[in-house]
């Protein structure tokens, strides 16, 4: 069994994730492919993750890839998390993750409708009819907000109180339920936001705007194997628990998908890791590098076992839900955190002594990040302890 120590894992990371200067690129879609997908729960993450891995790309280039070239698409997938994915990966994500999500969403919302007693007849049939009407309305409009669609499809304004025995609960329209389910089914897509690139208020568009014939279908087993193959290339080596956590699948599902791949076991400082059989050669250590990564960046969120790059810094950089805030990297490990203040200033704090040369490179990345933001003031979806201190 080949042994891969922490130093080698830290050497692989900046090469595969395009964080070392020599591995950066201005091709937005290629950056996303390098990481399989980008986290998109916080809209700013998508743009800042690209900025950290490019030389001259700007937010306008990301918007072009998303909304003009349409080489990227935003969707719910692993762990019911929002991601931005390369368009060619969408069938893989649809079959391996999103189809199951759509089934679960429809079952949950149908249960609420049944409990509320607002529907006569078969609830699932009723929901299917409303979904079809909504999709047709969106095809007619080309793009629309939920409010606009609820005017076209009156049944979207059906109100349900999901917890009538709770004082805090109140009836809400089912518009969002239907739109989320249609999105999970791959029938509609979140389009341009209403506002800057950091906004989370999106219009909706039919999938036909991206894929004229809809999302191609593929066998779920094939899709799961392909998703694991891409993940192992970008994030391997790693223990199987990391694959299970990242995909959100059960152990049996992960093991079954791995049987369709040629993988080998490697020793990770006493733990067993997995690696693609054609990817066992050592990776040369790149030149020293520094990077400022945004909250929920796919690199720190790629593994559940994080000690080898996080060290003792989790309490300062993670919130209570396990979400990482903005982080500072030096040669394959996290050494600090950063934040944007209300006036736009980028402030940071190193959590360990990295020396003068490293500090100079980090400050250069601070300047690059400030330039990327420009006049945009991104409101974080959550704040970590260090973020709160830096912006107090």
Structure token digits, residue 389 = 């201190």
Q: What is the pLDDT of residue 338?
A: 97
Residue 315 has a pLDDT of: 96
Residue 91 pLDDT > 80: yes
CA distances from 210 to 39, 49, 73, 145, 220 (A): 20, 23, 8, 18, 22
Alpha-carbon gap, residue 312 to 322, rounded angstroms:
15
Task: Look at residue 316 and tell me whether its pLDDT is greater than 90.
Answer: yes
Lookup: tokens for 147: 């409010």
CB atoms within 10 A of CB 122: 11
Strand-pairing partners, residue 329, are: 291, 334
Beta strand ranges found along 56-187 (DSSP E): 72-76, 82-86, 159-160, 172-173
Q: Determine the pLDDT at residue 200.
A: 79
Average pLDDT along the chain:
94
The answer to whether the CB of 98 falls within 8 A of the CB of 90 is: no
pLDDT digits (tens, 9 = 90+) for 147-159: 999 999 999 999 9
Pair 71, 86: CB distance under 8 Å: yes
Q: What is the pTM of this model?
A: 0.94
20 three-state secondary structure? coil
Cα R_g (the chain), whole angstroms: 22
Rounded to whole angstroms, how far apart are CA atoms 290 and 113? 52
Model confidence at 193, pLDDT cuts 50, 70, 90, reads confident
Confidence category of residue 195, pLDDT binned at 50, 70, 90: confident
User: pLDDT class for 202, splitting at 50, 70, 90?
Assistant: confident
Q: How far is CA 90 from CA 67, 229, 320, 356, in A?
A: 16, 15, 31, 44
Asked whether the predicted pLDDT for residue 225 surpasses 80, the reply is yes
Of 9-18, 96-105, 187-196, 234-243, which gets the smallest average pLDDT? 187-196
pLDDT tens by residue, 355-382: 999 999 999 999 999 999 988 888 888 9
Query: Would you say residue 169 has pLDDT above 80?
Result: no
Q: pLDDT band at 198, cuts 50/70/90? A: confident
């Amino acid at each position: 069994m080949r042994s891969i120590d922490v130093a080698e894992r830290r050497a692989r990371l900046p090469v595969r994730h395009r964080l070392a200067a020599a591995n950066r690129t201005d091709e937005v879609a290629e950056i996303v492919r390098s990481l399989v997908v980008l986290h998109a729960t916080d809209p700013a993450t998508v743009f800042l993750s690209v900025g950290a891995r490019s030389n001259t790309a700007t937010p306008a280039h990301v918007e072009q890839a998303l909304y003009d070239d349409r080489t990227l698409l935003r969707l719910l997938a692993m762990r019911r998390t929002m991601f931005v994915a390369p368009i060619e990966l969408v069938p893989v994500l649809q079959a391996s993750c999103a189809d199951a999500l759509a089934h679960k969403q429809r079952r949950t919302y149908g249960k609420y409708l049944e409990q509320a007693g607002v529907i006569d007849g078969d609830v699932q049939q009723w929901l299917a009819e409303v979904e079809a009407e909504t999709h047709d309305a969106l095809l007619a409009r080309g793009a629309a907000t939920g409010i606009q669609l609820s005017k076209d499809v009156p049944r979207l304004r059906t109100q349900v109180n999901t917890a009538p025995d709770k004082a805090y609960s109140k009836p809400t329209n089912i518009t969002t339920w239907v739109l989320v389910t249609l999105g999970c089914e791959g029938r509609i897509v979140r389009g341009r936001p209403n506002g800057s690139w950091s906004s989370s208020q999106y219009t909706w568009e039919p999938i036909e705007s991206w894929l004229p014939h809809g999302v191609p279908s593929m066998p779920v087993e094939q899709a799961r194997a392909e998703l694991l193959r891409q993940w192992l290339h970008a994030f391997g080596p790693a223990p199987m628990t990391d694959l299970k956590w990242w995909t959100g699948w059960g152990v049996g599902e992960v093991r079954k998908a791995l049987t369709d791949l040629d993988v080998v076991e490697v020793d990770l400082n006493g733990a067993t890791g997995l690696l693609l059989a054609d990817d066992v050669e050592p990776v040369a250590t790149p030149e020293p590098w520094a990077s400022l990564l945004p909250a929920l960046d796919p690199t720190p969120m790629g593994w559940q076992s994080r000690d080898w790059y996080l060290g003792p810094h989790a309490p300062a950089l993670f919130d209570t839900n396990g979400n990482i805030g903005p982080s500072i990297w030096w040669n394959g490990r996290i050494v600090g955190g950063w934040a944007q203040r209300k006036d736009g200033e980028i402030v940071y704090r190193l959590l360990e002594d990295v020396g003068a040369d490293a500090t100079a490179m980090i400050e250069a990345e601070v300047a690059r990040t400030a330039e990327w933001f420009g006049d945009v003031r991104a409101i974080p979806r959550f704040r970590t302890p260090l973020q709160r201190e830096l912006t107090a």
